Amino acid sequence: MLAIFAVTFPFFALVLCGYLAVRRGMLPLVAIPGMNTFVLFFALPCMLYRFGANTPIAQLLDPGVFTVYLLCALLMVGITMAATLSHRIDWNDAAFGALVAAFPNNGFMGVPLLLALIGPRSSGPVILTIVIDMVITASLCIALSRVGSGSGRAAVANALKGVVSNPMPWAIALGALTSVSGLALPAPVAKTIGLLADAASPVALFTIGAVLARSQMSTADATPLREYVPVALKKLALHPLLMWCIGHGALRLGLPLDPAALDVIILVACLPSASNVAMLAERFGANTGRIARIILVSTALSFLTFSGAVAVLR
């Protein structure tokens, strides 16, 4: 277990550093959007491109991983929606609560953390989960958030527009194209991409902490514990449990699923909630304070729960 903590601790420590830097005023709030821009539009796309280019196309288009992961995401959305819809939590807030329960931080945290724990063979399944969450899960929850408002079609259109303008799917697609074609980039370009890719992990993790601190500081509402702690626990416990049960059920039914890839997506499900859901919730008028608290609680607890899951799967 100590060997696992030795790997996971630096990743969560970087998140804590970003959080403390903002809470103590060492990093101004106005600097956070710039850090987000660097990670989202420069460093992380280069990392994903590099992984896509070095990963066999069969791993990037794994039907077993796609089926199991998507089914679990849909179940998480349905279960969380059913459990949270009430007179206090409307469709908009319930939908984004469902998204934050089903959408792990597989981009900013999952890619570097699982690479360190498992190695290059984790990149294919993780990249596929990113595509599923960004294209399908997020679009579905945004559409559900518009139920009763009469703007569902416009919301779906906006969600798809956001997917198209997000550089991460394009970086994955370009990497896959490079993998299939066997073409190599010119050495200076490859070196530039490599430098940006190497910067992605530390800056992304530090930025997660900064975003969490900003979200907590900018929301002064007294959201009851019962409205966000159960959702955080669903993310950390129910999501990986569903992934384990459905994945092993699929193996018994003969679905073409590599057991090693199943372990990877179970660990992806053990990750805390994606920090960018808070920004989506703010854009669509949901209770951002509640979403930020879910992300904060899941991130704080996941240091122990994620490390424990690694120990169990090993």
Nearest C-alpha neighbor of 273 from the set 241, 251, 299: 299
Q: Reduce the DSSP state of residue 104 to 3 states and report it.
A: strand
Structure tokens at 114: 């699982």
Residue ranges of E strands in the chain? none
For residue 104, list its beta bridge partners: 273
Quote the tokens at residue 131. 């595509």
Rounded Cα–Cα distance for residues 34 and 36 (Å): 5
Strand partners, 70: none
Cα separation, 78 vs 98, whole angstroms: 8
Which band of pLDDT confidence, cut at 50, 70 and 90, is reported for residue 67? very high
> What is the rounded CA–CA span in Å between residue 131 and residue 107?
10
SS3 label, residue 147: coil
| pLDDT over threshold 80, residue 150 | no
Tens-digit pLDDT profile for residues 208-257? 888 888 877 776 566 788 888 999 999 999 999 999 999 999 999 998 89
Instruction: Please state, as a whole number, how many other Cβ atoms lie within 10 Å of the Cβ of residue 133.
Output: 24
pLDDT value for 40: 83
Residue in 59, 60, 90, 94 with CA at minimum distance from that of residue 77: 94
Domains of the chain and any CATH numbers: 2-313 (1.20.1530.20)
Question: Who's near 218: CB < 8 A, 6+ residues apart?
Answer: 288
Is the CB of residue 28 less than 8 Å from the CB of residue 92? Answer: no
**What number is the average pLDDT over the span 42-60?**
85
Q: How confident is the model at residue 161 (pLDDT cuts 50, 70, 90)?
A: low
Residues 68 and 263: beta-carbon distance below 8 Å: no
Cβ atoms of 199 and 41 closer than 8 Å:
no
pLDDT tier at 153, thresholds 50, 70, 90: low
Length of the chain: 314
Which residues are registered as beta bridge partners of 273? 104
Dist. CA 77–CA 108, nearest whole Å = 22
Average pLDDT, the chain: 87
- Of the listed ranges 32-41, 158-167, 263-272, the one predicted with least confidence: 158-167
At 177, the amino acid letter reads L
| Cβ(129)–Cβ(59) below 8 Å | no
Whole-angstrom distance, CA of residue 212 vs CA of residue 182: 40
Residue 154's pLDDT band (cuts 50, 70, 90): low
